[in-house]
A and B are shown apart, each in its own frame.
Chain A
Amino acid sequence: MTQNTLALGVEAVGCAAFDAGIKGAFGYPGTPSTEGFEFVEAMIQEAPEGRVARWAANEKVAYDLALGVSYAGHRTLVTMKHVGLNVAMDAYANSALTGVRGGLVLLVADDPGMHSSQNEQDSRRLAEFAWLPCLEPSTVQECYDFTWQAFELSEALQIPVMVRLVTRLAHCRAALRRRAILPPTGLGLAPKDTIQDWVLIPSNARRRYVDLLAKQPRLIERLAPMNRLVAGGSRQGVAVSGMGRAYFDQLLLEYPALAALPRLEVAAYPVDPQLEAAFLAQVDEVFVFEEDYPVLEERLGLRGSAKVRGRLDGTVPRTGELTPRQLKNALALLVAEAKESITLDLPPRAPRFCDGCGHVDAYEAMQEALANLGVPETRVFGDIGCYTLAAQEPMGAIHAVVEMGASISMAVGAALAGQTPSVAVIGDSTFGHSGLPALLTAADSDVNVTIIILDNRVVGMTGQQPSQALDQVERMALGMGIPEAQLQVLTPLPRLHDANVKAMESALQHPGPSVVIFRRECIQSMRRGVLKDHDRELKACAEQVCASTEARP
């Protein structure tokens, strides 16, 4: 059975995973990966048949959930954005040694140009680092087809396989041809005689590392059909991968003379060194078009036989997203004449807090309390979420944003260095993601640090997915060792502003660690009724408890 459907690149990966018979899909939201999980989640909700889809507390947890499904003998998909893989890196790198049972595919969406990320790191490097294969599609159909291949490869070589997308492909929508759906069948639990492979004590790990390295030649051999050399008459050539390949393929239609350039097309890593050598033998000069880091470019350049043009010599800008215009410039192609640019000065239209957002009320209370206390040189450590918008002027309410969960630990570090009162601002979902261990350390720190948890009850920024910390933030804070007297729960509303300022002042003045939770549901999720059913059940449950309590004599 084949059918046509419209899908984003990331959705095509999710769809292929479903069709390839996964038992479980896991992930943590992060642009541009989010819709990949959501697509497969929707498919599973419609036809569960024993399949499960779960958002996890963070990417590492998601990865380990997937590894557990694989151990149990089933195919599984785990999704995250590039910086999420840093969080999951311990699991990812070590799963290369344990290997997998059921096929495990990791969807990673990189964000060159940093449309909505704090860096533009290249996940191909992390695959190389872990000695694991990376498949890099360049069209929506390839996203689908490569994911199928990834499952087959994963089971054939018993290793996890990364499918790497970049923003442009992740968020490219196109028609998709699907294959017949496989039911979620399993291979059975990892056999008894393989148990030691999964136990990474040093004696086993040494053996498994040798096994992993021994798989490399087979890996290169298996990936060989995905990379190819196209001959041409010119001594100038191109090496293309990912969106570089997509853009070049399209240029070939518009500028047929480009077919004279020998080209190396790469869609899977590691690349066979013999293929690279064969390509370089045909050229004196190579243009490399790849997205993000100069991965192919460095490999080709190291051989020293041809002049390599790309990001390192400035032929393509060193940073930022690859564009078709950059290819045209590098290849000295004539560009179309455009309408005249507008001379009027067009200031950027930055994203901003939604009207009526509770974060704004929370920040206003915090800023006024800090001002009232006359704290000189206030520095507030922020975190990742919608509330990061407060770093922009004129609000300027937070003064550092690094990575998920950093706010709390950085604030404690600054306080230990004598910068008090020290303040951290973190959202509920980010708190559940990586704030918890930081709060454990904070509670134990004995310094004046105030941790503000902005609890809007959902993962606001990525599309209001349910937060795993829902209704549990106070208990989590108490459980980490924050004393009850130092835990306040406030409602960020304009009419409660004065009381909230007072409460903030008392927290800031407390010489030890304190937590202030500002709780009000995200305006967007309220509008969409994301938590309507949840809250109705909660209320019914509370009333029932109430009624039974009252009935007691």
Chain B
Amino acid sequence: MSAPRIHGIVLSGVGGQGVLSLAQIVLEALRRSGLHALQSEIHGMSQRGGSVHAQVCFSEGPLTSPIIDEGSADLLIALEPLEALRYVSMLRMNGHLVVSEEPQINMEGYPPIDDVYAALKAVRGAHLLDTEDLARRLSHKQAGGMALLGMASRFLPVSPEVWQDVITQRFEAKGARVTEKNLEAFQAGRGLIQETVGA
């Protein structure tokens, strides 16, 4: 019998967007689902508005490497469109990409946004989300991250109950209202993708 397959998730964005806390939610959800999971992150100077990325690996068997190789990720969750493009080559051929359409232009030489969208749409398995519009509709400025997680949840072997528990626990300290808004954003994102892909 061959060893259980190792799955990889890459999360990317800009410092301050919450990439690392999203990665921690994913890690906890996978762990509670009885899977072995590792998360890798790079901090430091990246906190100051630079590129940030994290990886989560999971498997039914024990793992030792916290990082995945190019072409090995099943899923890329990007909070920013340009930061998605940097990591597309991490995805395996049939991997999925969930990405925010909202650019963070805090840098020199940001490519024309239409070129960025065109490049993203050319990626097979890409799911774009207008997070700005969604935030407006939900009257929740920070809805984007949780909505993207909701979309991504369709591709992860985690039950809706576990997601609900982990998200609730994550925001508990900030009060019932904040928790509710985040669960709402998660559900809104989850509703955007119908297909369910098991592990």
Closest Cβ neighbor of B105 among chain A residues? A349
User: How far, in angstroms, from A175 to B116 measured CA to CA in the complex?
Assistant: 38
Contact of A325 with B48 at beta-carbon distance under 8 Å, contacts A174-B38, A342-B119 already known:
no
**A328 in contact (CB, < 8 A):** yes
**A352 in contact (CB, < 8 A):** yes
User: How far, in angstroms, from A353 to B6 measured CA to CA in the complex?
Assistant: 39
Residues in A neighbouring B41, C-beta threshold 8 A = 171, 173
Residues in A neighbouring B111, C-beta threshold 8 A = 344-347
Kindly list the 6 A-B residue pairs having the minimum CB-CB distance in the complex, ordered from nearest.
Answer: A116-B44, A338-B71, A351-B50, A351-B48, A336-B71, A172-B66
Contact of A347 with B46 at beta-carbon distance under 8 Å, contacts A336-B92, A337-B93, A338-B93 already known:
no
Q: Is the CB of B3 within 8 A of A347?
A: no
Contacts of A347-399 to chain B: CB distance below 8 A? 347-354, 386, 389
User: How far, in angstroms, from A247 to B69 measured CA to CA in the complex?
Assistant: 10
User: How far, in angstroms, from A249 to B3 measured CA to CA in the complex?
Assistant: 12
**Known contacts A168-B66, A344-B116, A352-B106, then 18 further A-B pairs from the complex at CB < 8 Å, ordered by chain A residue:** A171-B42, A172-B39, A173-B27, A173-B41, A175-B37, A243-B65, A245-B64, A246-B65, A247-B65, A253-B3, A253-B61, A338-B91, A339-B123, A340-B89, A349-B49, A349-B50, A349-B83, A351-B45
Closest Cβ neighbor of B110 among chain A residues? A347
Interface residue from A171, A243, A461 paired with B45 (Cβ < 8 Å): A461
Residues in A neighbouring B125, C-beta threshold 8 A = 339
**A49 in contact (CB, < 8 A):** no
Number of interface residues of A (CB under 8 A): 52
User: How far, in angstroms, from A346 to B12 measured CA to CA in the complex?
Assistant: 14
Q: How far is the CB of B21 from chain A (nearest CB, A)?
A: 12
User: How far, in angstroms, from A340 to B71 measured CA to CA in the complex?
Assistant: 9
**B68 in contact (CB, < 8 A):** yes
Interface string of B164-189 (1 = CB under 8 A from A): 00000000000000000000000000
**A167 in contact (CB, < 8 A):** yes
Contacts of A152-199 to chain B: CB distance below 8 A? 167-169, 171-175
Contacts of B67-100 to chain A: CB distance below 8 A? 67-72, 82-83, 85-86, 88-93, 95
Q: Is the CB of A338 within 8 A of B107?
A: no
Q: How far is the CB of A230 from chain B (nearest CB, A)?
A: 15
Contact of A352 with B89 at beta-carbon distance under 8 Å, contacts A172-B38, A253-B6, A339-B95 already known:
no
Q: How far is the CB of A276 from chain B (nearest CB, A)?
A: 23
Q: How far is the CB of B61 from chain A (nearest CB, A)?
A: 7
Closest Cβ neighbor of A111 among chain B residues? B44
Q: How far is the CB of A240 from chain B (nearest CB, A)?
A: 11
Q: Is the CB of B49 within 8 A of A339?
A: no
User: How far, in angstroms, from A175 to B38 measured CA to CA in the complex?
Assistant: 8
**B101 in contact (CB, < 8 A):** no
Q: Is the CB of B64 within 8 A of A347?
A: no
**B15 in contact (CB, < 8 A):** yes
User: How far, in angstroms, from A6 to B88 measured CA to CA in the complex?
Assistant: 29
Interface string of B48-67 (1 = CB under 8 A from A): 11110000000001011111
**B31 in contact (CB, < 8 A):** yes
**A3 in contact (CB, < 8 A):** no
Q: How far is the CB of B49 from chain A (nearest CB, A)?
A: 5
Q: Is the CB of B116 within 8 A of A325?
A: no
Pairs A–B under 8 Å by Cβ, sample size 14? A173-B39, A175-B31, A253-B6, A325-B70, A336-B69, A337-B92, A339-B89, A344-B111, A344-B119, A347-B110, A350-B50, A352-B49, A389-B48, A461-B45
Q: Is the CB of B15 within 8 A of A351?
A: yes
Interface string of A225-248 (1 = CB under 8 A from B): 000000000000000000101110
User: How far, in angstroms, from A521 to B67 measured CA to CA in the complex?
Assistant: 37
**B124 in contact (CB, < 8 A):** yes
Contact of A32 with B6 at beta-carbon distance under 8 Å, contacts A324-B67, A325-B69, A336-B92 already known:
no
**A139 in contact (CB, < 8 A):** yes
Number of interface residues of B (CB under 8 A): 58
Interface string of A488-530 (1 = CB under 8 A from B): 0000000000000000000000000000000000000000000
Closest Cβ neighbor of A4 among chain B residues? B31
**B149 in contact (CB, < 8 A):** no
Q: Is the CB of B39 within 8 A of A354?
A: no
Q: Is the CB of B124 within 8 A of A32?
A: no
Residues in B neighbouring A468, C-beta threshold 8 A = none
Interface residue from B28, B40, B92 paired with A338 (Cβ < 8 Å): B92
Closest Cβ neighbor of A336 among chain B residues? B71
Closest Cβ neighbor of B76 among chain A residues? A339
**A256 in contact (CB, < 8 A):** yes
**A472 in contact (CB, < 8 A):** no
Q: Is the CB of A338 within 8 A of B70?
A: yes
**B108 in contact (CB, < 8 A):** yes
Contacts of A307-360 to chain B: CB distance below 8 A? 323-325, 328, 335-354
Closest Cβ neighbor of B45 among chain A residues? A351
**B24 in contact (CB, < 8 A):** yes
Interface residue from A324, A336, A346 paired with B86 (Cβ < 8 Å): A346
Residues in B neighbouring A323, C-beta threshold 8 A = 67, 69
**B14 in contact (CB, < 8 A):** yes
